Chain A
Amino acid sequence: MRYSAFSIVKNALSGNLKWKPQWRQAEPKSHYDVIIVGGGGHGLATAYYLAKEFGVKNVAVLEKGYLGSGNVGRNTTIVRSNYMLPGNEPFYEFSMKLWEGLERELNYNVMLSQRGVIMLYHSDGQRDAYIRRGNAMWMEGVAAELIERDQLKKMIPFLNYDHARYPILGGLLQRRAGTARHDAVAWGYARGADRHGVDIIEHCEVTAIRRENGVVTGVDTTKGFIGCGKLALAAAGNSSRVGEMADLKLPIESHVLQAFVTEGLKPCIDHVIVYGGGHFYISQSDKGGLVFGAEIDGYTSYAQRGNLATAEHVMEEGVAMIPGLSRVRVLRSWAGVMDMSMDGSPIIDRTPIDNLYLNCGWCYGGFKATPASGYCFAHLIAKNDTHPVARFLRLDRFARGYVVDEAGAGPQPNLH
């Protein structure tokens, strides 16, 4: 069923009893051309673009929990393309362009809100770094604006401009960036993939990857063996575990990242604001809650829960930037398992096994990449050839000395 104003009226007249489920509850067939492991945003987007753009229709997405139970439902919903390095910026800008057309593409309201992302600077050195980043963005055709302190005070009056340690001197603004409704992205891609014939199989955990003569023949799952022509891994925080089933050793550590939401307030924060003195970022959801987060906890973890000391640190950063936050009550906090790569950038590549493809290393920036990640991964799987904007995101870049280290932090995942 196509969603439209007409469909809303029509269904209202029949008491809203005739809406169909957005995707089928598929049972696995014995064989698929492509199996995607991981029913998160990236896996579902990959399935959607495989079927829609690349004509590969015999596809299954295997998800061990329920659809969207992982990081696609555990992020702070920010979408942006304000990266600096030539290996990253074209990729994220490709993603931003896909975001801008996503609702029409999927016939689904993902509530994309291009409210602008502003990254604050607190020193002359940091301003220079942001000017450089802004120039790097312009070189890739992406608009960036440097907002000086006086102008910023008019835009966002409630910041702590005269903080003793981190006075706010201005910010770098990308107006096209913003937020999207994270669950709707997963559901929209799932519905779109389903309509193109993809089987989405929930509660189906992969337990082993079967290989014969050096190629993958299928996967053992909690719903039995499923054969496949090609196998694509998009398992995010569990990439190392799934990779291990095929003897892959990955440059990945799994870390825990927390996020928080407050009680609902009247509209007060119009942008996504990123603190430059730490890593704090905040926006306001359409329900009114302030959604925020900051650094990863700093230790490897597969538990989807964080540490109170980190929560305290995040709140301190928030209050340092916006003193008024001290009066707001936090309603909920949650955590996700991040696949932190050794240079802070993702991997979309082939593996040493011919028909096994890998998508991982999203650190804590995977949500904004969802459309481009899916598109480029589908391109790679269908054509066995790397999409041009993802050509730097290779698995062997560490061995070859071509790391894409946006933070310049070195091979230390808890610092990216």
Chain B
Amino acid sequence: MASLITCPHCGVRPKEEFAIRGDASLVRPAPTASDEAWHDYVYVRANPRGRTLEHWQHVGGCRRFLVVERDTFTHEVHSVTDGAAFARENGK
């Protein structure tokens, strides 16, 4: 795991300042969606070996939720985006 994360708001910070929430590629279903859709959202994970998107919260800094693109095998961090900006870009 990279020791330093570049927060879009706070700059380069040690990774211990961040809390990892988990998979950011999931899309929350509508409240009226089927049980299967909710089951998949809550319980099923792609769990890739390679690039993955994750929600991290910068709890020791700006407290913003971020989307970190990271490799689960090499531990390389490819990009860090603000969560709200990421959601707008991806039309969520």
| A residues lining the B interface (CB < 8 Å) | 238, 240-241, 249-254, 297-303, 307-309, 342, 398-399, 411-414
Contacts and interface: CB of A to CB of B under 8 A. Distances in A.
Given A300-B72, A303-B75, A309-B15, A254 B1 contact: no
Interface of B: 1, 3, 15-16, 20, 22-23, 35-36, 39-40, 42-47, 49, 52, 54, 70, 72-75
A301 B45 contact: no
B72 A301 contact: yes
A370 B75 CA distance: 30
A342 B3 CA distance: 27
Contact of A299 (B20, B40, B73): B20
Given A301-B1, A301-B72, A414-B20, A251 B15 contact: no
A207 B28 CA distance: 33
B16 to A, nearest CB: 5
Nearest to A410: B42
Contact of A251 (B45, B52, B70, B74): B45
A128 to B, nearest CB: 29
A303 B71 CA distance: 10
Contacts of A411: 42-43
B49 A241 contact: yes
B49 A249 contact: no
With a 10 A CB-CB cut-off, give which of A249, A302, A412, A413 has the most chain B CB atoms. A302
Nearest to B70: A299
Given A251-B43, A253-B47, 15 more contacts: A238-B49, A240-B45, A241-B49, A249-B44, A249-B46, A253-B45, A299-B1, A300-B23, A309-B3, A398-B39, A398-B43, A399-B43, A413-B22, A413-B45, A414-B22
Contact of B43 (A240, A241, A342): A342
Contact of B35 (A238, A303, A309, A399): A399
